[in-house]
A and B are shown apart, each in its own frame.
Chain A
Amino acid sequence: MARVTLRGIEKRFGDTVVLQGVDIDVPDGGFAVLVGPSGCGKSTLLRVIAGLERCDSGALRFGDRDVTDLEPRDRDIAMVFQSYALYPHLTVRKNLAFGLELKKTPRSEIDSRIAEVSLMLGLEPLLDRLPRQLSGGQRQRVAMGRAIARRPALFLFDEPLSNLDAALRAQVRVDIRKLHDRLAATSIYVTHDQVEAMTLADVLFVLNRGRVEQAGPPLEVFARPRTRFVAAFLGSPAMNFLPARLERAERGARVVRDGLALDVAPTNVDDGTGGEVVVGIRPHDVVPAESGGIAARIEVLEALGTESFAHARVGAEPFVARLDGQLRPAAGDVLRLDVAPEHVHVFDVATGRALWAGE
């Protein structure tokens, strides 16, 4: 079992800087998710943690061990690859045993581990098949089993669900979390899927261009995005962004623009002066109200049954609002919407940082 600490990890491929000073702390037994758009360096970071890539600078520690210069085989880790990477010439049983045999584990111990893992993942009927005789979901389970059989201190996952269909993905996601809780090992999980990130993580790291943009418990990150990037990345449909002017009042602050005038919670702004800002409002945070501070002119209503998404304009800016299913405004209607002050996010125009986070 291991606490994982990364300090100042940098990695270049030729002239391309892929990781620029990544700091990460995962507590012992924690489930960390690294999330970010494609190409932001997630896989590279995971491969650095695995030892498959050397970092150009920075340090890695597992518990009290400095592993920065260790080979993958000396790190006591297991990895589930996006492609599963099952050994094609070996049966499922031999795939599960591969790592144990390399470590010269006694035969009886190998057999009991295989039995345990196959029971856990329902692999018994598959043990004598070759990988090419398995379905995608079964391969995925074998890949997980191969990792679990090793009983490593640290599990690494690189988008393990991305090759599964949607229904299976939802189910395996839950299974992974259950397995983690049961095995109590530390896990680091890479994905570009925000649903996986939100549901799996104890601690979430949002990566952007080789940097950790924000870290913390997923709901906290969701509720208080530190930057416009994080705000836009988490949540579906994505947060609305509108240019506006921040005005200071006696008590707290207000944001004002064509079609919008809303109070902002004091915790969401710094105590500087007013000026041009970008306002962020999640589609799910609006409620229809006679006296609401937003005037949204409906263009298209997507009714999904229990809820609808109204694609509208506030002034000239596009705006998406989530409405209850019963509400059926017609195109051209102007809907008044209200937002609680703590749900009005305010970002600096130039830096994209939330005002509360400062410079």
Chain B
Amino acid sequence: MTRRGRPSDTLEAVLVHACIILAVCFSLYPVLWVLSTAFSAGTAPERSILPLPSTPTTAHLVEVVGAPSFWRQALNSVSVALATALVGIAIALPTAYALSRFSFVGRQAGVRVLLATQMFPMVASAVPLYIVLETLNLLDTRTGLVVCYATTSVPFAIFQLRGAFDTIPKDLEEAAMVDGATRLQAFVRVVLPAARPAIAVTALFAFMSAYNEFILAATILGKEEALTLPVVLQRFVGEHDAAWGKFAAGSIVVSLPVMALFYVAQRHLVSGLTAGGVKG
């Protein structure tokens, strides 16, 4: 496979790499600025071209992480996002499977209604949701937030997973059923594993959108120890003082779990697990 030596190939390689390096620099530049600001003394970003801190310090980081309710708030964020993803997947799996495999009365109508709910941004229902949660005594609770987030994560997951199930050949389940499986066994032992990449991606997206969500969280949450991290971050750059250093340091801390998740999940993100099961 060594193709070195041919001038046209070398030129091609150089051009390709130049483009990639340019794209990487372009997308990394702002991130580097965040890093630089996080580790610079002072409250405002420095004015220079290169994102290098002139007086490096970890003061902002220590201040953010050392805040009395920080770990409590981080736990809020992670548990709310995790619960949202789990609830979404748990409800969506059987629903999506039914929509993909069976025809029943109200199937089309159900899909359309689900689709319709997706047309409104969640902010549009912020006020009614607030009132509902207030009535249920769920304001300032993680449960309340999960319920709100599930209203979008469930339909989203249903559509994702239905698409995934549609691509899994029926033959696989039928083979399993001929081999002695009940339909439930065929679902659990054949369909779910074949859909694993799609389930992982769907869960990841549900997790991330809940983890990053700000507007609804800011509406529903008020008490310091109930906040999620995006709301905490926003409060660093309030009306009176803009602590950009703390904001940047906080952003980095907030990003870490998501980066870790992506790293762990990338094996599943590479699709193609179903390839090779059927056809030659």
Which residues from chain B contact A89 at a C-beta distance below 8 Å? 193-194, 196, 273
Q: Is A77's CB under 8 angstroms from B178's CB?
A: yes
Q: Is A99's CB under 8 angstroms from B194's CB?
A: no
Say which residue of A79, A134, A137 sits within 8 Å of B178 (CB atoms): A79
Cα distance A52–B181 in the bound complex, in angstroms: 12
Which residues from chain B contact A99 at a C-beta distance below 8 Å? 179-180
Does residue B182 face the partner (Cβ distance < 8 Å to A)?
A: yes
Q: Is B180's CB under 8 angstroms from A103's CB?
A: yes
User: For chain A residues 146-193, which have a beta carbon within 8 Å of chain B?
Assistant: 146, 150, 156, 163-164
Which residues from chain B contact A130 at a C-beta distance below 8 Å? 276
Q: Report the count of interface residues on B (CB-CB < 8 A).
A: 27
For B235-272 the 0/1 string (1 means CB < 8 A from A) is 00000000000000000000000000000000000001
Q: Is A102's CB under 8 angstroms from B275's CB?
A: no
Q: Is B278's CB under 8 angstroms from A85's CB?
A: yes
B158 to nearest A CB, angstroms?
23
Q: Report the count of interface residues on A (CB-CB < 8 A).
A: 37
Q: Is B177's CB under 8 angstroms from A71's CB?
A: yes
Cα distance A139–B280 in the bound complex, in angstroms: 7
Which residues from chain A contact B278 at a C-beta distance below 8 Å? 81, 83-86, 88
Cα distance A138–B15 in the bound complex, in angstroms: 42
Which residues from chain B contact A140 at a C-beta distance below 8 Å? 280
Does residue B30 face the partner (Cβ distance < 8 Å to A)?
A: no
Q: Is B185's CB under 8 angstroms from A88's CB?
A: no
Q: Is A102's CB under 8 angstroms from B179's CB?
A: yes
Given A85-B169, A88-B194, is A72 in contact with B276 using a C-beta cutoff of 8 Å? no
Q: Is A87's CB under 8 angstroms from B190's CB?
A: yes
Q: Is B276's CB under 8 angstroms from A102's CB?
A: no
A135 to nearest B CB, angstroms?
8
Interface centre among B176, B273, B274 (most CB of A within 10 A): B176
The residue on B at minimum CB distance from A149 is B179
Q: Is B174's CB under 8 angstroms from A78's CB?
A: no
Q: Is B172's CB under 8 angstroms from A87's CB?
A: yes
Q: Is A136's CB under 8 angstroms from B171's CB?
A: no
Q: Is B273's CB under 8 angstroms from A88's CB?
A: yes
Does residue A50 face the partner (Cβ distance < 8 Å to B)?
A: yes
Interface centre among B178, B180, B276, B280 (most CB of A within 10 A): B178
The residue on B at minimum CB distance from A104 is B180
Which residues from chain A contact B272 at a C-beta distance below 8 Å? 132
Q: Is B280's CB under 8 angstroms from A79's CB?
A: no
Q: Is B178's CB under 8 angstroms from A50's CB?
A: yes
A162 to nearest B CB, angstroms?
9
Cα distance A73–B183 in the bound complex, in angstroms: 10
Q: Is B277's CB under 8 angstroms from A98's CB?
A: no
B181 to nearest A CB, angstroms?
6
Cα distance A164–B280 in the bound complex, in angstroms: 7
Does residue B175 face the partner (Cβ distance < 8 Å to A)?
A: yes
Which residues from chain A contact B175 at a C-beta distance below 8 Å? 79, 81, 85-87
Cα distance A228–B275 in the bound complex, in angstroms: 44
Q: Is A73's CB under 8 angstroms from B169's CB?
A: no
Given A79-B175, A88-B273, is A73 in contact with B180 using a C-beta cutoff of 8 Å? yes
The residue on B at minimum CB distance from A80 is B175
Cα distance A98–B276 in the bound complex, in angstroms: 17
Which residues from chain B contact A132 at a C-beta distance below 8 Å? 272, 275-277
The residue on A at minimum CB distance from B196 is A89
Does residue B47 face the partner (Cβ distance < 8 Å to A)?
A: no
Which residues from chain A contact B276 at a C-beta distance below 8 Å? 86, 88, 130-134, 139
Q: Is B280's CB under 8 angstroms from A136's CB?
A: yes
Which residues from chain A contact B223 at a C-beta distance below 8 Å? none
Given A81-B171, A89-B193, A89-B194, is A131 in contact with B178 using a C-beta cutoff of 8 Å? no
Cα distance A319–B234 in the bound complex, in angstroms: 87
Which residues from chain B contact A50 at a C-beta distance below 8 Å? 174, 178
Say which residue of A52, A90, A136 sits within 8 Å of B177 (CB atoms): A52
Does residue B4 face the partner (Cβ distance < 8 Å to A)?
A: no
The residue on B at minimum CB distance from A82 is B171
The residue on A at minimum CB distance from B177 is A72
The residue on B at minimum CB distance from A164 is B280
Q: Which residues of B come within 8 Å of A, CB atoms? A: 169, 171-172, 174-182, 185, 189-190, 193-194, 196, 272-280
Given contacts A83-B278, A86-B278, list 13 more A-B pairs with CB under 8 A. A50-B174, A71-B177, A73-B178, A73-B180, A83-B169, A84-B280, A85-B175, A86-B175, A86-B276, A88-B172, A88-B274, A88-B278, A99-B180
Between-chain CB contacts (< 8 Å), 16 pairs = A50-B178, A72-B178, A73-B179, A73-B181, A81-B174, A81-B278, A83-B279, A84-B279, A86-B277, A87-B194, A88-B274, A88-B275, A102-B181, A132-B277, A139-B280, A163-B279
Which 5 pairs, one residue from A and one from B, show the smallest C-beta to C-beta distance?
A: A132-B276, A136-B280, A88-B277, A99-B179, A83-B278
